[in-house]
Chain A
Amino acid sequence: NAGVTQTPKFQVLKTGQSMTLQCAQDMNHNSMYWYRQDPGMGLRLIYYSASEGTTDKGEVPNGYNVSRLNKREFSLRLESAAPSQTSVYFCASTGQLANYGYTFGSGTRLTVV
């Protein structure tokens, strides 16, 4: 049981380049999320998808786009990377559980130079 799988694990981009972070879960969860984590700032929500076919902005959506390709997959795209997007990105998912526990992927460490 893989849980939540993110690719790539590490990436270095030049300013202005684009890239897509991939996320897939095999737990049949409805809801999926993209967070970024910066030192001293905790986890901040970029976008989320409550169910297949829907996406919504979170706290820090500027500079990002998302696609909920199907129930399993939720990708995050940076169209024109900026140094301010240097961060660790986590994908997470949850089912309709009473405890609402998230399962996180292992993260993508992105550096924009």
Chain B
Amino acid sequence: GQSLEQPSEVTAVEGAIVQINCTYQTSGFYGLSWYQQHDGGAPTFLSYNALDGLEETGRFSSFLSRSDSYGYLLLQELQMKDSASYFCAVRIPGANNLFFGTGTRLTVIP
């Protein structure tokens, strides 16, 4: 089976930088995705890494190291509205779906 590990909770101060890690054990690997979900809302797509390195989209960046089976989501200039759950998800060969981690609840405090 597939296994993804993320911290369950992270707290950070408004204006700061926070990193949310994700390690995975899978039978093959195509890419790593990140999704944001506010309480009571639907998950929304943030980023996708298929190759090693850093992808930047505004205040959010996502990193992948395929050799380490590891990735992270980096949120800069934190805002209160960034308080949400963040899920990593992997796409593997032979599967037409994503496998999701259990999520990291980020709380941004003033």
Taking CB atoms, residues of chain A closer than 8 Å to B8 are 40
Contacts of A101 in B (CB 8 A): 33, 45, 48
A9 to B85, CA, bound (A): 21
Q: Choose among A42, A58, A104 the residue that contacts B101 (Cβ–Cβ < 8 A).
A: A42
Tell me whether A100 and B48 are in contact (CB under 8 A). Answer: yes
CA distance A56 to B95 in the complex (A): 10
Considering the chains assembled together, what is the distance between the CA atoms of A103 and B98 in angstroms? 12
For the side of the interface on B, what is the size category? Answer: 20 to 34
- The distance from the CB of B57 to the nearest CB of chain A, in whole angstroms, is 11
Using a Cβ–Cβ cut-off of 8 Å, how many residues does chain A contribute to the interface with B?
A: 24
Kindly list 7 other residue pairs between chains A and B, CB separation below 8 angstroms, not including A43-B87, A43-B89, A102-B43.
A42-B101, A42-B103, A43-B43, A48-B97, A100-B91, A104-B44, A106-B42
Q: Would you give 29 A-B contacts (Cβ < 8 Å), ordered by A?
A: A31-B96, A33-B97, A41-B102, A42-B87, A42-B102, A43-B43, A43-B100, A44-B100, A45-B99, A48-B97, A50-B96, A56-B96, A90-B43, A98-B48, A98-B50, A99-B33, A99-B45, A99-B48, A100-B30, A100-B31, A100-B98, A101-B33, A101-B45, A102-B35, A102-B45, A102-B98, A103-B45, A106-B42, A107-B41
